[in-house]
Amino acid sequence: MSDDLRVIQTDSPPAEGACRTQGFGSPLQLSEEHDLCPGCGEPVALRAILDAVETLDLAQRAIGVVGIGCYTALTSLIDLDLIQALHGRAPSVATGAKRMRPDSLLFTLQGDGDMVNEGLQEVIHAAARGENVTCILLNNGVFGETGGHMTATTVLGQRTKNSLEGRDAAYHGHPILIADLLSRLGGAGYVARASVHDAPGVARARRYLERAFESQMKGEGFSFVEILTMCPTGWFVPTAEGPGYLDDVLAPIHQLGELKRDGALVEPD
């Protein structure tokens, strides 16, 4: 039998004898249409966030504060209350919202350019004060929306629009490992770093997000989840090689795993 004859009809659901286990998007999504590049990791991370909110049944209490970046275009897909913050200022906006509505689930959605370049002091002070909010960082090492130049988290050797030969420590300085930095602050209760480069990674990202949200609802202080996302456009790699590039180049520096849990540092294995 030739392969073409063996392709299964996938235009419509099976007529009978099967149940739908997962839909196209999360139940908290208004739409599945977006204009981000092929192979982008940010919609994958968005789904993990919405799935975590849905799993914990916190949708009615959730308020998101969104920074500026490619992911800002995804806000039209999200069926949650959202506040648009100025570039980098989401942790401070979230601080105010959480203090006025202490029963709500407050999370920020920020990129590395937004959080670590534009608003580094905001997130550090929010963590040091022990604000009871969850900051979520989508880290791909480039300012994707404004053209793909280097950010403070770009790893040494990574090519971007203004580090075409790779980031050079002598010329560009060293990357800031923000999750490691925040985990050392006393106000932080939960800090973890995940990725979305493969299915087990996405499952882990969901688990960390759920733990961060639970930590916030228990009032354990500042919680932080960094999610490494693919940006094949900004990395100058074919879309199919994005996950491998993340695993080979970003993950050895921004190491995956939980850094702090229940207010105590987690020792690396």
Partner 1 sequence: MSGVEIRGTLVIDGERCKGCELCIPACPPAVLRMSEARNGSGYAYPELLPGCTGCGACLMVCPDFCFEVYRYDEPIVLEGGTP
Tokens of 246: 């993340």
Residues 6+ apart with CB under 8 A from 232: 37, 38, 39, 40, 238, 239, 241, 242, 245
**Binder among 30, 169, 240, 265 for partner 1 (CB under 8 A):** 240
19 counts as binding partner 1 under rule CB under 8 A: yes
Structure tokens at 30: 């208004």
Alpha-carbon torsion angle 35, 36, 42, 44, nearest 10: 60
Specify the residue, 65 or 202, whose C-beta has the smaller distance to partner 1.
202
Residue from 11, 57, 103, 267 touching partner 1 (CB under 8 A): that is 11
Q: Cβ atoms within 10 A of the Cβ of 84, count?
A: 13
For tokens 């040091």, what's the residue? 128
Binding footprint of partner 1, residue count (CB under 8 A): 43
Q: Is 15 in the site for partner 1 (CB under 8 A)?
A: no
- Using CB under 8 A, which of 20, 164, 165, 267 touches partner 1? 20
Q: What is the Cα–Cα distance from 2 to 104, expressed in whole angstroms?
A: 56
Single out the residue of 28, 44, 116, 227 in contact with partner 1 (rule: CB under 8 A).
44
Query: Min. distance of Cβ 93 from partner 1 in angstroms?
Result: 27
For the purposes of burial, counting CB atoms within 10 Å of the CB of 117, is it exposed (0-12), middle (13-18) or buried (19 or more)? middle
Write the binding mask 152 to 191 for partner 1: x where contact by CB under 8 A, - elsewhere: ----------------------------------------
* C-beta of 178 vs 227, nearer to partner 1: 227
Q: How far apart (Å, rounded) are the C-alpha atoms in residues 164 and 104?
A: 44
Q: Residue 240 CB, nearest distance to partner 1 (Å)?
A: 4
CB 156 within 8 A of CB 249: no
Question: Residues interacting with partner 1, by CB under 8 A?
Answer: 1, 3, 6-8, 10-14, 17-25, 29, 32-34, 36-44, 47, 196, 198-199, 202-203, 232, 239-240, 242-243
